[in-house]
Each structure stands twice: as structure tokens, then as C-alpha cells.
Chains A and B, each alone.
Chain A
Amino acid sequence: DAGVIQSPRHEVTEMGQEVTLRCKPISGHDYLFWYRQTMMRGLELLIYFNNNVPIDDSGMPEDRFSAKMPNASFSTLKIQPSEPRDSAVYFCASSLLAGGYTFGSGTRLTVV
């Protein structure tokens, strides 16, 4: 298995633009998580899914953020419109219930 695959690896965009981050979880994993990591706030859970259904989105900072999981092999995190304070590394992770997470390599987002 290639692990959790995230794209793009790096994204630089202008303030006000829409940004879409993508994630392909490990086949067979039934949980998918989106995290954001910054120096100031550390690792923050944004939202997670179980069997493609959003379970807890209380970490999504604002209505500008949205996430979808249309099927078991794909998820997106969208920011519209983007702001400079959204600059961070965004990680996707997947897991089975009793196991640990497998993280992707992350997307480094810079909003200028």
C-alpha cells in the first residue's frame, strides 16, 4: 500500500482564492481525519469521518472551511475564501478503529 496520499504537497495562493486539498486514505481504513499544524497552535483536529460520514467537525475554524468524503477512497478539504492566517501544514490521516493513525506527508499551504 502506498500509504495515505495527499495532494498537492505545496500550495501558494493569493488571499481570497479558493483552495482545495485532497486526500486518498489507505484502502480498508474506515476513519479519515484532517489536521492542521502551525507553530503557534500545534496540531489541531479539524474534522473526521467514519465510513464517509462526518462525525465531528467542531474543529473547523469557520464557515470558510468545508470537507467532503464522497467515497471511501477520497476526501477534500476546501477553503473559500482563503486568508493569510490559514497558512499551515494540513495533514490527512486514516485508521481502523483499534489501530493507530497513518498520516500523509501533508500539504504546506501559504496564503499571500
Chain B
Amino acid sequence: AQSVAQPEDQVNVAEGNPLTVKCTYSVSGNPYLFWYVQYPNRGLQFLLKYITGDNLVKGSYGFEAEFNKSQTSFHLKKPSALVSDSALYFCAVRDMRSGNTGKLIFGQGTTLQVKP
């Protein structure tokens, strides 16, 4: 089955500290992986994606994600968190099953709280 898991409902981190938001996936074939961020009262915004190539993907607002095939993980990271990074983060994988190749499967979301 195609699925995405975000094991943490909430992550708390102090401003200036590194942050990690976890994501694991289960797909058949090579995964297309994405991270999105949702600020209050806004739609989801694209942060970054992995399709192929370097396992470390850099995205918007200083975020990066590391693709680990052996652990089937795609954790989102940032070296130094900002209070303004506080938001809801979604991991997603593209459903590559025949007939469904356009659809993204989203995780349940992780709330990131960065405290001053």
C-alpha cells in the first residue's frame, strides 16, 4: 500500500536550535516525495521535493530534507529554527500506481512550534 507517516503530532523547538520533522513512506517503485507548509488560515505551500539525484534536497526558507532509501524516510530539517517557522507541515508521496500517477498521498501533518 502507498502511505506516508508522520509519527509526531507536534514538535517543539527553541529558536536558533536545529529542527527535524519526521516522515516515513511506503511505496512501490521509486518515490516522489514532497514537503508542504501551512500557515494559519492559508493554503498549503510547496517547500521542496525529491524525485531523483542527490539525497539532500534544499528548499524554500532554508529548509532541507534528506532522502534515506534504506530507512524509507524523508525527514525535514533546518539548522536554525525561527519563530516564524511555526506552522503545520505535511509530508507527501506521489501515488505511482497505474491510474493514480497524479495523486499525492499526504501524511496527517506535524505542528511545529518554535519558542523564542
Contacts and interface: CB of A to CB of B under 8 A. Distances in A.
Interface string A56-91: 100000000000000000000000000000000001
Contacts of A101: 34, 36, 44, 46, 104
Interface residues of A, number: 23
Q: Is the interface of B mostly helix, strand, loop or mixed?
A: loop
Interface string A3-18: 0100000000000000
Contact of A106 (B43, B90, B104): B43
Interface in B91-116: 99-104, 106, 108-109
A42 B100 CA distance: 21
Contacts of A98: 32, 51
Nearest to A104: B43
B49 interface: yes
Contact of B103 (A48, A99, A102, A105): A48
B70 to A, nearest CB: 25
B45 interface: yes
Of all A-B residue pairs in the complex, the 8 with the closest CB atoms, nearest first, are: A103-B43, A31-B102, A100-B46, A103-B44, A105-B43, A100-B34, A42-B108, A43-B106
Interface of B: 32, 34, 36, 42-46, 49, 51, 90, 99-104, 106, 108-109
26 contacts: A33-B103, A42-B106, A43-B44, A45-B103, A48-B102, A50-B102, A55-B99, A55-B100, A55-B103, A56-B100, A95-B102, A97-B101, A97-B102, A98-B32, A98-B51, A100-B34, A100-B36, A100-B46, A101-B36, A101-B44, A102-B46, A103-B43, A103-B44, A103-B45, A104-B43, A106-B43
